[in-house]
Every structure is written in structure tokens, then in C-alpha cells.
Amino acid sequence: MLDSLSAVRAETIESVDEAWMGRQLKSERPRMIWVGGLEERLRERVAVDPVAERYYREIFRQADATLQAPVLRREVTGRRLLDVSRAALKRTTFLAFAWRMSGDPAYIARLEETLKAVSAFSDWNPSHFLDVAEMALGVSLALDWAGDAIDPEVRDLAEEALFEKALAVSMEADLQHVFRKANNWNQVCNAGIVAAAVQLAEKRPGEAAQAIERMRKHLPASLEAYAPDGAYVEGPMYWNYGTSFNVLLLDILDTALGTSFELENGDGFMESADFVLQMKGPSAFFYNYYDCFLRSNYMGGMLWFAKETGNGAYAQESQIMSEVNWGYGLDDVLDRLLVVELLWLLEVDREATEPSPLSWKAGGRNPLGVFRSSFDDPKGLYLAFKGGRADNSHGNMDAGSFVFELDGVRWGIDLGNQAYHPLEEYFRKNGGSLWGTEQDSARWGLISKNNFGHSALTVNDAWHLVEGMVEIEAFDPEGRRARLDLTPLFGENVERASRTFRVLDDRSVEIRDRIEVNESTRRIRWQMTTQSDLLETEEGLLLQQDGESLRLIVVAPEGLRASVKSLELPEHPMDKTLPNLKRIDLVVPAHLAQDGVVEIVVRLSGGAKAGAIRSTEETLPEEEQGEADEVGETGPAERFVEKSGAVLRGQVLGEDEP
């Protein structure tokens, strides 16, 4: 895989040193991404292309807002300066763009004020190096794009800050780990520092060469997250963050140095654009596993993939033009790469498209599968599921879980992400760490992180084993069927466990769990998290939401009824809350096993009509109440927070929007 690929590169590509930099560095400016003569091409495209015109108008709108905004100040939130760094990246690039396209000196004057302000900061917060990287990227691109229009004294001041607060700091021994990480930190930090290296290459050739050589050696570690098929381990939101900076880095290398070192050829990297398409359901919601948003504006890095592959499907014009992507305030930073996206858009033929498969699977450290009925029908069927392990970066105890859409409704949900800072502060004060992934980590006390908040399988009310790796062991794209081996999640509590997903038709799916019990198995709980209203009918549960309905029918064990647990009142003070949040449970005591096997079969079917109605709140069949009471309702998550003093039942101490 990538390790062997890196070894080949080391033999076939000369080392980056000052002599190499001297030969490769583009002499004329701008060097990075912006190429000579682009201004006239932009004007011509904007005149005939409504998508380009929308980008162009939005960049100017916010550049104009920057002219009146207060100058940025060094304001740290918790351990992060990141919001300020991102604001600087946005303002500097928007102002440089506006000047290049208009020649208005007001934009240069404001750019100079911004550069002077951030250059005067005591530092760019190297203890959280993403802050340095995004600041360095903004300063570097602005200096490159605006060039000699910037007052020489201001340019010298900004370049000195760029060296002292970014490039030189990046060489400190205790910070080298950030450039070697196997996640988005590697990509973002290397992108920012390589941009600084290119900008400073004439003045600081030795340090510039060193930074680029370090990137060339260590970026492949982060590319392993895409292998082998493009499924990004941390989810689509972090794909957007890491990959957008990764492709921006590749474009800087190509335009400034004439080579990307073939880094885009890592296993699964180019295929990851398909992963992004597959992770969005017909509702336009993401499969928001791990720390992913449910909703997102258009992921602009997709335009680079459209440019490089020639597949206009990645451009997703309707999503770009959606109102959700526009109208951000100046202090919002989700649109901070709009200028770069517009430059990529110029190279895209949106008419040339290649269809994506309706049945899709990807392996790797976090295997994923998707079955869908259509890419064009907003009310189509969408079933997405995952394997993986909880100790992945940003991981949860969610292996074997799923989300399900039909008729434009997300029926089976994932809780998605929570704001980090309040959680970090809580654990700092109360013990534990949000980022610890050991088996007894405080992280797993949160319902969004443990298996009790996911549409997963739970055995003996125990947390999943964090090192248990779940694979998709069988996948039939034509029959729309997949089987996952869940055994590693449960250790000695079961002999074997598997989950099979099957699409019966374009209106219904079946989920079949097979558990071989042993002497340690006490009870098994099938779970589905939802925000739907629930009614009980003669056939089973009827889910109702947004004027649509879905039937949940228990095929096996025969006669088993569902119970419902409300999750609106958190049991952990930092649990994520969502309106009408609940979990549908099917509880099967181990003594109901037939020949040592428990089978739970559930069908989800659309187009149901309500029948006889009975309440289902917190009920179990009478014959199973004794078994449930004997086993006990309190699982390890509840026991953990009770032991730590963290549970205040019925109280909401903190709520954060994703």
C-alpha cells in the first residue's frame, strides 16, 4: 500500500534541497494556484456562467464587508486561535482577489491593515498548530496574489512574521508530530507551511526546501485514511477539511514547483470523491457518523476532483447554487476557500458526467456500504451502514449501525457531532478526556459516542469493545445484500454475531441479526434511534414524520414487541439532545435462543397507514419483564457516569448545536 509506494518514490524522486528548489521554483508571480492571464478568463466565464457569477458576486460582497469590519485581534477560545486564523485566511484571500479583479486600491489598503494586524500577534498559537497553518496559508496566498501592490514595508513585515511565526516554528522538534499524523492535521499543517515555504523560497531557501521535503515524506501517512477504496476514516465532514487542504496543497505544488510528487496516486485518494457522493442521502443529509455534521454547504474540494478527473458529476451544480451555500456573514468561515474553488471551477466541464453506482462498498479501517434506489429522486430509498472500530480517529461505538431514508425522511438517524470545546472543558474539570479511546475512557459515557445512542446491536448492556474491528464480510451489489461480522464487538459475551442488510424492493429493507449465544450471553438488544412519532398498530410500530409514515415489523422472534426509550432528557450532563429523540428497542433474553441461536429480523417498509393505536412508551412484553428486571436496566455507560458523579437525571446542563 502507501508504505511501499513511498519507498518507490524515495528511489525515483530526487531529494528536495536548495538546488532542486532553484531549478523548480516558478520565477514569475503569482506562483500559487493563480496563473498568468487568469483575470480575463474569469471575466469571460462570469459573464456566461451563473455558477461562476454566483461565486464572483459573493467574494466581492464579503470583500466589501471586510472594508468596514474591525481589524482582527488575537482572541483565543479555550486552546484555539483557529477562528481568528480562519477569518484571516478568508479576509486576505478575498481582498487579494478583489484587488486583482478590480484594481481598486481600497482592497489593497485593507489587506495591508489585515497583514499588519496578524503580523503583530505575539504568535499564531503553535500549541494548536492548525491555527498556525491556516493563518500561514492566508498570509502566503495574499502576499503571492497581491505581489508588488502591497507596500514594501508591509510585505517585509508580513514575510518576517510568516517566517518567525510559521516556517521557523514548524522546525521545532516538539512539533514534528503534527506533520506526521495519520489524519487531517497532517494535510492542513503541511498545506499551510508549504505555502509559507513557497512564498519565502528566495529569502529562506534552506528552510523552504526542508519543509517541502518533510511534506513529501510524511503526507502519505495521512493518505492511508482513504485506502483502499476512498472511504475516509473520519467521515465526510473531515474529508472536506483534510481533503480540501490536501488538494489545495497539490495545486500549490503543481503551479509553483511543477510537480505534485504524484501524491494524488495514493490508494483510494482519487476514488474518495465517489465516497462523498455516496455519503449524501436523497434528503441531502450526510451519513453523519463520527463527528460529522448532518447538513453541510457544498464541499468545494470536489471541484478539484471534477477538474482533475473530467467528471462533472463531482461539481454538483444544483448543490453549489443552493441557498445554503451563500449569504454567510463575514465572521462565518465555512466559505473561506471560495476564491480557490472559483479558480478550480474555471477548469471544470460540468456537462461531462459519469454515473455513480447505486450499490457501493468501501473497505479499510472504517468499512462502509450504501444501497440506494436513485441519485435523482429526493424521496428515494437510502440505506447506509458501517463497520470499523471505536478507536479510530473521531470514532464511536457504532460498528454495525445504519441510517435509513425513504420518502424524503431520515427515519433511522445518527446523532452526529458535538461542539468540542464545551466537552473538553467539562472533562478537564471533572476528569477524563474527550479524546481518550481506551476501553474505560470517559468519552464513552456520552450517548453520542457509545453504542447506546446508535442503531446498533448491544449485548448484556455492555459497551462495544473499542478494538473490535467489524468487516463487511459479504457484499452482493446486484442482490442488494451485505453481511457484517459483529463478533469482535462482544468478546466473550457471544460465540458469534452477524448482521445482514437486504433491500427487498425500492420501498423496504430487512435487517437480520444472527447471534450464537454462550453461557455469558444474558440478553441482546436491537436498537434504532429516531426522531419520528411512534404508534403501535396490529402489524407493529408505525413511524410518522413530516407527513410520511414507515412500518417497522418484527418478523422474528415471533410475537416480540418493541419498547421505546426517550432520549430527550440526557442521563449524562453533556449528552447531546435532539427534539423528539428516542430509541426503539427489541430486547431478546438469551433463554429464547433456538439451538443456541437468536435471530432478530426487522423489516422497514414505506407507505403504511395507521391501524389500531396503543401506547408503546417504555414497555416490554409481560413474559419478558421478569428477565429484564433480573438482568438490570443499568448498563456500563450509566454506571460510568454515576460512579463519576456526572449524572443529574432530568437536568440539561449543556446543549450544543452540531
Question: What pLDDT, on the 0 to 100 scale, is given for residue 298?
Answer: 87
Question: What pLDDT, on the 0 to 100 scale, is given for residue 316?
Answer: 86
Which distant-in-sequence residues (6+ apart) come within 8 Å of 630 by Cβ?
none
Question: What pLDDT, on the 0 to 100 scale, is given for residue 3?
Answer: 39
Among 557, 555, 549, 546, which residue's Cα sits nearest to residue 524?
Answer: 557
* Coil, strand or helix at 501: strand
- pLDDT tens per residue across span 305-339: 999 999 999 998 888 888 777 888 998 998 999 99
H or E segment to which residue 92 belongs: helix 82-102
Q: How far apart are CA 180 and CA 202, in angstroms?
A: 26
Burial readout 261-283 (b: 16 or more C-beta within 10 A, e: otherwise): bebbebbbbebbbbbbbbbbbbb
Q: How far apart are CA 543 and CA 516, in angstroms?
A: 30
Q: Say if residue 37's pLDDT is above 60.
A: yes
Q: How far apart are CA 285 and CA 283, in angstroms?
A: 5
Q: Say if residue 253's pLDDT is above 50.
A: yes
Q: Say if residue 91's pLDDT is above 50.
A: yes
- pLDDT tens per residue across span 163-221: 999 999 999 999 999 999 998 999 999 999 999 999 999 999 999 999 999 999 999 99
Q: Which residue has the cell 450464537?
A: 516
Given a contact cutoff of 8 angstroms between Cβ atoms, the answer to whether 144 and 199 are in contact is yes
Cis ω on the peptide bond leading into residue 30 (within 30° of 0)?
yes
Please provide the DSSP assignment of 427-440 as one string. HHHHSS-TT--STT
From the CB of residue 359, how many other CB atoms can be counted at a distance below 10 Å? Answer: 18
Question: What pLDDT, on the 0 to 100 scale, is given for residue 115?
Answer: 98
Q: Say if residue 432's pLDDT is above 70.
A: yes
Question: What pLDDT, on the 0 to 100 scale, is given for residue 311?
Answer: 94
Given a contact cutoff of 8 angstroms between Cβ atoms, the answer to whether 405 and 432 are in contact is no
Report which DSSP code applies to 151.
-
Q: Mind listing the domains of the chain with CATH numbers? A: 2-345 (1.50.10.100), 365-643 (2.70.98.70)
Cis ω on the peptide bond leading into residue 557 (within 30° of 0)?
yes
For residue 144, the Cα-to-chain-centroid distance in whole angstroms is 30
User: What is the residue type of 474?
Assistant: A
The mean pLDDT value for 272-288 works out to 95
Question: In the numeric block, which cell numbers belong to residue 583?
Answer: 430509541
H or E segment to which residue 338 belongs: helix 338-345
Instruction: Report phi then psi at 338, rounded to 5.
Output: -60, -40
Given a contact cutoff of 8 angstroms between Cβ atoms, the answer to whether 281 and 405 are in contact is yes
- pLDDT tens per residue across span 536-553: 998 899 999 999 999 999
Q: Which residue has the cell 478590480?
A: 102
Question: What pLDDT, on the 0 to 100 scale, is given for residue 629?
Answer: 33
Question: What pLDDT, on the 0 to 100 scale, is given for residue 36?
Answer: 82
For residue 469, the Cα-to-chain-centroid distance in whole angstroms is 20
